[in-house]
Amino acid sequence: MTAGGWIIMILSVGAVATLFSWCLYKVLTTPEESEKIHGFEIDTPDIDPE
Amino acid sequence: MIAYFISLLVIGLPICWAEWSLGRLGGKNGFNSSPGILGFVTQKASFRYLGVIGVTIPVVIYMYYVYIEAWCLGYAVNFLSGNMEFQSASEAGDFWGGFIGMGANGDALGFGLTEVGGFLFVVFILNFYLIYRGLSKGIEWFCKYAMPTLIALAVIILIRVLTLGAPDADNPENSVINGLGFMWNPNKVVMFERSVTDGAEAWNAIAGQEFVGEASIAAATAKASADPNLELRTITMWSQLANPQLWLAAAGQIFFSLSVGFGVIITYSSYLRRKDDVVLSGLAATSTNEFCEVGLGGLTTLPAGYAYLGVAGVAGAGTFGLGFNVLPMVFSEMPAGNFFGFAFFFLLFLAAVTSSLSMLQPGIAFLEEALKINRKQSVAILGAFTALGCGFVVYFSEGVKALDTIDFWVTNLLMVVLATVQIIAFAWIIGVDKGFKEVHKGAAIRIPAIFKFIMKYLSPVFLITIFLAWFFTSVLGYNLSGGPKQYSSYIIDLFIEPNPVAIMSVGVVLLTIAFVSIVTYNGRFSKTENNQEDSP
């Protein structure tokens, strides 16, 4: 691996790790944020009642 | 990777935020399907029909995604049964080829432990049972614990891969460090071969002839010096960045890994409440994916593939095969390899179940909304439709032709078109200022103002440019560097040397578009009461 390769790898992995850590920090430290943040909640409101 | 990160900033994040925001806005007015949402937020019938693509993409991808999901389950069970102790990479490759039915059409339908058919049956029934009975909450709860475990396992595998060295003593150049170089080095050293056609001389790169490491470059230099028809050339980072195919591949990877331009986010975000945070939700989902993809997957699969298969093996392994060919070899080098192999592929299978369930929801929501039917009726219709499509993909397993063809047209054509439609709807039809106000409702962070410019101008121009470049190079065969016309294998399969499986595969996509369009035409999309306040 060349020096350029090392630089690009370290910058890339460092950038995504930093962004990921910052997002975790922001979600965990913002008041009530865990109630307002969502991924794909698979059980959607259109589930038929039994 | 530079093209990938630029694509992330110019199209990944902008379309992610636009899609989350459009979905929430549509959901506020009772629309949950891509045609319903795009038709409502733009107030244009044409966008309702363009929204058909947002239903077609997840439905068609589901047809082959369950096939891959079944590979994961099958690999987990085979690790548990002790069938995965391979001595060489070729043994692992032969197992994979046999398991998925690469040899001949119909081979994938076997029901033995080392054939995918039985696993596929289980996976297909499981998916529809979960979504029909509404039991997916349990899977979701389990995944809250399973996914961090999967990340922890990926870290263990990463450590093992980075300490592999050169596993084949006969090929010391096939090492992990050279594998990392293959992936990350900005300049590529590639062998070119001279050819003469109709008196015109051309130099073309030889597939799989890229060299990394001093010894292999020295050997390649000696080989090129001895043959006037060969030349070793260094392709700089800048000339790679001038290749439209690279940008298209980077954009396709962004679409697939972030699920943007996919039709899934727009439906799921329609179930959000007014003040849910779509900015941090989108950014957190994106950053988690990027960390896993670049920081874990990117440092694991390709370098391990290079170490076991060499550059030719990595180049020829295709999009889906590399992990299934290479990871069993990594596990074979680990203590308790069968346990780790089982755990990894089983957790991957669970992650895939949640993804495949999410791919069904856009189709279900669309049928409910357009036909005014209940969820179970909608699931039944979609189940029958996708079962036929999935049967087609799995039957025509020779060389994974059906899967590969459908994947190519959906990723390169439909996703790019849908992403363009969404960003134009957000930044031009709603208007970027109004769109920014909408996206920031309930947000804990602000999107930097530069993204107004990016979303309004850069993103659409970028998408339209790579689409046109793809059309001229891959479809019309033009060589942007001035050489003779060269058609992609997918165009050859359709128009030059017609391949019946490829033609039928495109037919499956067109049939799905036709079905969704007819339902849209006859659908009764209507604004309803706000249903969001009680949503998740």
| Residue showing tokens 């490759």 | B93
DSSP codes, B449-475: THHHHIIIIIHHHHHHHHHHHHIIIII
Q: Which residues of chain B are within 8 Å of residue A1 when distances are taken between CB atoms?
A: 177-178, 180-181, 184-185, 212
> What is the per-residue pLDDT across B333-366, written as a single tens digit (0 to 9) for each?
878 889 888 988 998 898 888 888 889 989 999 9
Q: Which residues of chain B are within 8 Å of residue A3 when distances are taken between CB atoms?
A: none
Q: Which residue of B has its CA nearest to A48?
A: B375
> What is the per-residue pLDDT across B227-263, written as a single tens digit (0 to 9) for each?
988 999 999 988 888 887 788 788 878 887 887 888 9
Confidence category of residue B18, pLDDT binned at 50, 70, 90: very high
pLDDT at A47: 63
Q: Which residue of B has its CA nearest to A19?
A: B287
Average pLDDT, chain B: 88
Confidence category of residue B534, pLDDT binned at 50, 70, 90: very low
| More reliable by pLDDT, A42 or A1 | A1
Mean pLDDT on B381-396: 94
pLDDT at B530: 53
Name the B residues in 206-235 with CB < 8 Å from any A CB: 212
Task: Please give the share of chain B, as a percent, with pLDDT higher than 70.
Answer: 95
Of B181, B272, B283, which has the smallest distance from its Cβ to A38's Cβ?
A: B272
State the angle between helix axes of B52-80 and B415-424 in degrees (0 to 180), rounded to the nearest 10.
130
> What is the per-residue pLDDT across B100-127, written as a single tens digit (0 to 9) for each?
998 999 988 888 899 999 999 999 998 8
Measured CA to CA, the distance from residue B343 to residue B259 in angstroms comes to: 25
Q: Do B357 and A22 touch (CB under 8 A)?
A: no
| More reliable by pLDDT, B435 or B167 | B435
3-class SS shares of chain A: helix, strand, coil, % to 5: 60, 0, 40
N- to C-terminal Cα separation, chain A: 60
Measured CA to CA, the distance from residue B321 to residue B120 in angstroms comes to: 17
> What is the per-residue pLDDT across B425-481, written as a single tens digit (0 to 9) for each?
999 999 999 999 999 998 999 999 999 999 999 999 999 998 888 888 888 888 766
pLDDT at B386: 95
> What is the per-residue pLDDT across B408-426, written as a single tens digit (0 to 9) for each?
999 888 999 999 999 999 9
Q: Do A15 and B5 touch (CB under 8 A)?
A: yes
Domains of chain B: 2-163+241-270+279-522 (1.20.1740), 188-235 (no CATH)
Q: Which residues of chain B are within 8 Å of residue A10 when distances are taken between CB atoms?
A: none
ipTM for the whole predicted complex goes beyond 0.90: no
Separation in Å, CA of A32 to nearest CA in chain B: 10
pLDDT at B370: 93
| pLDDT over 90 at B330, yes or no | no
Q: Which residues of chain B are within 8 Å of residue A37 when distances are taken between CB atoms?
A: 276-277, 280-281, 284
Q: Do A5 and B357 touch (CB under 8 A)?
A: no
Longest CA pairwise span in chain B (Å): 77
Q: Which residue of A has its CA nearest to B266?
A: A40
pLDDT at B137: 66
A49 touches chain B (CB under 8 A): no
| pLDDT over 70 at B187, yes or no | yes
Q: Which residues of chain B are within 8 Å of residue A48 when distances are taken between CB atoms?
A: 134, 374-376
pLDDT at B536: 40
Q: Which residues of chain A are within 8 Å of residue B137 when distances are taken between CB atoms?
A: 42-43
Q: Which pTM does this prediction carry?
A: 0.87
| More reliable by pLDDT, B101 or A37 | B101
**∠ CA B217-B219-B221 to the nearest 5 degrees?**
65
Confidence category of residue B319, pLDDT binned at 50, 70, 90: low
Q: Do A45 and B536 touch (CB under 8 A)?
A: yes
How many residue pairs bridge chain A and chain B with CB atoms within 8 Å of each other?
132
Confidence category of residue B535, pLDDT binned at 50, 70, 90: very low
Name the A residues in 27-46 with CB < 8 Å from any B CB: 27, 30, 33, 36-46
A17 touches chain B (CB under 8 A): yes
| pLDDT over 70 at B320, yes or no | no
| Residue showing tokens 């390769």 | A5
Q: Which residues of chain B are within 8 Å of residue A26 when distances are taken between CB atoms?
A: 280, 284, 444-445
Measured CA to CA, the distance from residue A5 to residue B213 in angstroms comes to: 12
Mean pLDDT on B519-529: 82
pLDDT at B501: 96
